[in-house]
Structure 1
Amino acid sequence: MLETSDIVAIKQLEAFCHHAVDHNDQSLFADVFTEDARFDGRLCGGPLFEGLEAIKGFFALGRPPHPPSHHMTNCYVYEEDDRVRVKMKWICPDPGTGGVVTGDNIDWVVKTPEGWRIRERVASMRHPGGFSAQPAS
């Protein structure tokens, strides 16, 4: 069973991850991901990367193709199938449209000697894609 201190540390990790992604380089990623982490962006039309170096290489592409900033909200920590999971929502500005892009991340986090780290992230798109502000007629 997770202790309150673990939940706080995991939520801090999740928030810090977005600061690391927006940092000028990928020097903070070792404080976020395990060496053997997986980043699965296929549900957003992106790639699957395995390993810290591959993930760093993806984010080293800069802005664009990545958004200028990443934000997270609604971070929920829970245990499932003997794993510690995190579900949270993300939002990024879309410089192409002036709007926003939103989605979900579902993470598997593990406690390492250096602290909690993301072992796997699966990102999915929420908006755009099927959203309409128009009422149904």
Structure 2
Amino acid sequence: MKPTTNDIVEINQVLALLGHIMDTRAYHRLDEVMTPDVFYDCAIFGFGTATAFDAVTELMGRDGHAAAHHCTNVFVHEGPGETAGALSKGLGVLKGGGVASITFVDTLVKTPLGWRISSHVLAFNTEAKPEGK
């Protein structure tokens, strides 16, 4: 679906809130940003993939996961059916002070409760391309 201006704002809010949920370890709030059957792919950092809240919570809680998450440069685009896509940059502050730069590739669906992430994939910056490019 072609996202409206309101959709784009709501999707930006969801992506921003995800970082806050991860940074405060408030995993009980994942339902505010993700679908119950979400696919979460953090394989580029050796954490593998997870499906559903319990598995995502376990993955996010592992040692070595970034201590702070920042989502920037959000580009929302049309997706198939009732979905929208989002491509954004991510900066993660690692323990010890290092910084990792990645690209988030998200698929979102509009639910009765608002937009929710159904797929969240972390990719190296050179692997992700804007939709249609």
TM-score class, shorter-chain normalisation, is 0.7 to 0.9
Matching residue of 1:131: none
* Identical residues among aligned pairs (%): 30
Q: Structure 1: how far apart are the matches of 2:71 and 2:6?
A: 20
Distance 1:44 1:81 in 2: 29
Amino acid at match of 1:73: T
| Residue matched to 2:102 | 103
* 2:15 counterpart SS class: helix
Which residue matches 1:87?
Answer: 87
Normalised TM-score (structure 2) = 0.84
Tell me the amino acid that sits aligned with residue 125 of structure 1. Answer: F
Match status 1:59 vs 2:60: yes
The corresponding residue for 2:131 is none
| Structure-2 change in CA distance of 1:4 and 1:67 (3 Å) | same
SS at match of 2:38: strand
Residue in structure 1 matched with residue 22 of structure 2 by the alignment? 21
| Alpha-carbon distance, 1:126 to partner | 4.1
Letter in 2 for 1:77: V
Moved over 4 A (4+): none
Alignment of 1:71 onto 2:70: yes
Q: Which has the larger radius of gyration?
A: 1
Aligned counterpart, 2:11: 10
Give the TM-score taking structure 1 as reference length: 0.82
Deviations 1:83-102 (A, max 9, x none): 31000000012224x33111
Q: Is the 8 A contact 1:26 1:60 kept in 2?
A: no
Aligned residues: 124
SS at match of 1:46: coil
- Please give the alpha-carbon distance, in whole angstroms, between the structure 2 residues aligned to 1:55 and 1:16: 16
- Which structure dedicates a bigger proportion of its chain to helix? 2
Counterpart in the other structure of 1:112: 111
For residue 40 of structure 2, give the secondary structure of its aligned residue in structure 1.
strand
Superposed CA RMSD: 1.8
Distance 1:90 1:108 in 2: 16
User: Which amino acid in structure 2 is aligned with residue 88 of structure 1?
Assistant: S
Q: Secondary structure at the match of 1:70?
A: strand
Q: Is the 8 A contact 2:64 2:95 kept in 1?
A: no
| Contact 1:25-1:60 at 8 Å conserved across structures | no
Task: State the AA in 2 paired with 1:48.
Answer: T
**Secondary structure in 1 matching 2:27:** coil
